[in-house]
Amino acid sequence: MKDLAERVLTRLPAYLPDLAAMVAHPKRTIIARSSGADDDLRNALIFVALTVGLGFLLQAPTLPAEIDFIETAAAMAAFKVVAILLFSAIVHGLFRLLRGGATYLRTLTAYIYMVSPLYLALVVLSLIGQGLLRAYDPELGLEARRNPLYFVENPEAFTAFQDQEPLLAGAVTAVNTVGNLATLVWFIVCLGAFRAIHDVSRRRSALAGFLIILAWWPYAFIILFLAIGMFGRMAP
């Protein structure tokens, strides 16, 4: 973990301006950095690697003691590579179906830039949610951290949480809602970049966006069971 921290911190001065540009002007930045130049994909891979590394460092203190950080980080990195390749291929296929003209590598580059800031935002929101749970009950927070499906499998635990600490429970629900809304809004904001890259009309871009949202649900189902298959029900 020390080695990862040193690598990430060393690259932060160059990384932070790129992250700020993505957040401030996502469409313009994605288009500029997915132009088809030889080093576009390499730069995107460096950007996502630093993003994921930073996300891992933020989450490292919350890992249960029995989980080895290096093994978990390596396995999760492999999982994220599969997830990125799979859904970027879906995005690319739907745009090509609607007569989009970009290559897959340009779509992949744009997709990497789109998901990286979103991933970091969702990590922060997840940590806030965990903090709220631990403020209520440290043991419950630890159980929810060990098992992401804890409240699905134990709905009575969240009902008790709502009864005893309605404000904290409401805040946890609000954080989860913000995460879902942020995902949808960010995708809509960035959709114009894919339209420009594939050179399709607004109508076809809107249709592609609608189909991508529909495709998200079977994708999420597949990726959930892939995670369970790789890590078991106690997926990190």
Instruction: Give 26-43 pLDDT, tens digit per residue.
Output: 999 999 999 988 899 999
Cα angle, residue 57 at apex, residues 84 and 234 outer, rounded to 5°: 65
Burial of 108 (0-12, 13-18, 19+ CB in 10 A): buried
Choose between 11 and 14: higher pLDDT: 14
Range 134-148 burial, b when 16+ CB lie within 10 A, else e:
bebbeebbbbbbbbb
CB atoms within 10 A of CB 154: 15
What pLDDT, on a 0 to 100 scale, did the predictor assign at position 20? 94
What pLDDT, on a 0 to 100 scale, did the predictor assign at position 145? 76
What pLDDT, on a 0 to 100 scale, did the predictor assign at position 5? 61
Average pLDDT over residues 114-139: 90
What pLDDT, on a 0 to 100 scale, did the predictor assign at position 3? 63
**Is the pLDDT confidence value at 236 over 60?**
no
What pLDDT, on a 0 to 100 scale, did the predictor assign at position 151? 80
Average pLDDT over residues 184-199: 95
What pLDDT, on a 0 to 100 scale, did the predictor assign at position 26? 95
Choose between 223 and 26: higher pLDDT: 26
Average pLDDT over residues 176-202: 95
Percent of all residues in the chain with a pLDDT value above 90, rounded to a whole number: 49
- Give the tokens for residue 116: 């990286």
Nearest to 215 by CA among 111, 44, 90, 110: 90
**Is the pLDDT confidence value at 60 over 70?**
yes
Percent of all residues in the chain with a pLDDT value above 70, rounded to a whole number: 92
> Is the overall model pTM greater than 0.75, yes or no?
yes
Strands (E), the chain: none
